[in-house]
């Protein structure tokens, strides 16, 4: 039984981290379409970092660093140069996918997999200490948004940037910090993924960033509801894996469960009424 529980939480961990990044970015008004890229960059950075230094924690740091660097590109493009958030997000996801494959081939002469990463070894039931951090990410973000000055400012700039400006707040500064934080959080999720699977393989995030984004929307941009949504999606995936053994249903169908659930969850949610009002709009 606890086996099942920990399998579920290990699947949930990357979602929880990426979704925390998504909530932070979107509450500040920046569409979190790049979560997929942050996750992948985080996984890649973690694998390379851990292989190069033989230290899993340095791998985690490298993963966070890599994802934050991608976030900095996103922030520079959308905030400094006012590029469209959706176009930039899609482009960065493609860029990360291509760049990780390219570097993987250059460094390890493989187009698919890195060498085995030792990671945290046994690491306990969650696979690694990073898993516990992942479980704390959204509650911590809730506290940040509700109880701190920075959180109040994030909520203000995502909802009414002009009002925030008249109140003397630098909208660009708050958004920069939110996007960088978003990259760091999602990067942590990517690092967990690579260390948990003891390798980096190309495209290993397999749409997890988009499912995390769906969890943010399904969670109505509220950190705690979003955590619930992540756990729900992770439960569907756990179920899918458990069903694979049973021959009754073709695996092609069981593999669809998490994605189908995502679509159903989003379609049954009425509109985007809870979205931050300034989401996706460049500051005028």
CB of 272 to another protein, least distance (A): 12
Q: How far is the CB of 161 from another protein (least distance, A)?
A: 9
> Which residue from 164, 178, 185, 211 is in contact with another protein, where contact means CB under 8 A?
164
User: Are 173 and 75 within 8 A, CB to CB?
Assistant: no
DSSP symbol at 76? I
**CA–CA separation, 114 and 109 (whole Å):** 9
Q: Which tokens sit at 266? A: 């989003």
Cβ pair 192, 44 in contact under 8 A = no
Please report whether residue 70 would count as binding another protein according to CB under 8 A.
no
Which pair of structure tokens corresponds to residue 39?
């996750």
Name residues contacting another protein, limited to 109-148 (CB under 8 A).
147-148
Closer to another protein by Cβ: residue 111 or 148: 148
Q: Which of 4, 5, 136, 277 binds another protein (CB under 8 A)?
A: 277
Q: Is 250 in the site for another protein (CB under 8 A)?
A: no
Residue 154 to residue 140: CA distance in whole angstroms: 15
**267 lines the binding site for another protein (CB under 8 A):** no
Per CB under 8 A, the segment of 56-64, 88-96, 117-125, 159-167 that binds another protein is 159-167
Contact flag: residue 211 with another protein (CB under 8 A): no
**How many whole angstroms separate alpha carbon 272 and alpha carbon 276?**
9
CA dihedral 96, 129, 114, 71 (to 10 degrees): 10
Query: DSSP letter at 276?
Result: -
In this structure, what token pair is assigned to residue 74?
């996103």
For another protein (CB under 8 A), the number of binding residues is 23
Shortest Cβ 95–another protein spacing (Å): 32
Q: Toward another protein, which CB reaches closer, 90 or 266? A: 266
Burial class (CB in 10 A: 0-12, 13-18, 19+), 255: middle
Stretch that binds another protein, among 108-116, 121-129, 172-180, 265-273 (CB under 8 A): 265-273
**56, 119 contact by CB (below 8 A):** yes
Among 10, 74, 153, 175, binds another protein (CB under 8 A): 153
Handedness of CA 3, 20, 219, 140 (dihedral sign): positive
Q: Given the rule CB under 8 A, which of 56-64, 92-100, 160-168, 171-179 is the region that contacts another protein?
A: 160-168
- Kindly state the smallest distance separating residue 175's Cβ from another protein, in Å: 15
Report the interface residues with another protein, using CB under 8 A. 147-153, 155-156, 159-160, 162-164, 166-169, 270-271, 273, 276-277
């Amino acid at each position: 039984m606890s086996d099942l529980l920990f399998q579920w939480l290990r699947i949930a961990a990357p979602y929880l981290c990426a979704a925390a990044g998504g909530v932070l970015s979107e509450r500040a008004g920046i569409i979190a379409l790049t979560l997929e890229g942050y996750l992948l960059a985080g996984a890649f950075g973690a694998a390379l970092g851990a292989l190069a230094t033989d230290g899993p924690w340095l791998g985690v740091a490298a993963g966070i660093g890599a994802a934050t660097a991608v976030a900095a590109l996103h922030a520079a493009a959308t905030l400094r140069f006012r590029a469209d958030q959706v176009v930039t997000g899609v482009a960065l996801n493609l860029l990360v996918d291509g760049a990780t494959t390219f570097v993987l081939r250059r460094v390890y002469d493989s187009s698919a997999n890195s060498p085995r990463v030792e990671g945290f070894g046994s690491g306990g039931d969650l696979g690694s200490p990073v898993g516990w951090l992942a479980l704390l990410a959204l509650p911590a973000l809730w506290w940040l948004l509700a109880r701190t000055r920075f959180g109040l400012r994030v909520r203000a700039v995502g909802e009414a940037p002009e009002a925030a400006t008249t109140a003397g707040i630098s909208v660009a500064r708050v958004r920069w910090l939110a996007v960088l934080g978003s990259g760091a959080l999602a990067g942590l999720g990517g690092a967990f993924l690579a260390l948990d699977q003891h390798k980096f393989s190309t495209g290993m995030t397999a749409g997890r960033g988009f499912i995390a984004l769906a969890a943010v929307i399904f969670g109505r941009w509220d950190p705690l509801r979003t955590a619930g949504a992540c756990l729900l999606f992770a439960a569907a995936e756990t179920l899918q894996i458990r069903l694979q053994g049973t021959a009754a249903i073709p695996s092609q169908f069981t593999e669809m469960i998490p994605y189908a659930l995502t679509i159903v969850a989003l379609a049954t949610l009425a509109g985007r009424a809870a979205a931050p009002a300034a989401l996706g709009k460049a500051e005028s």
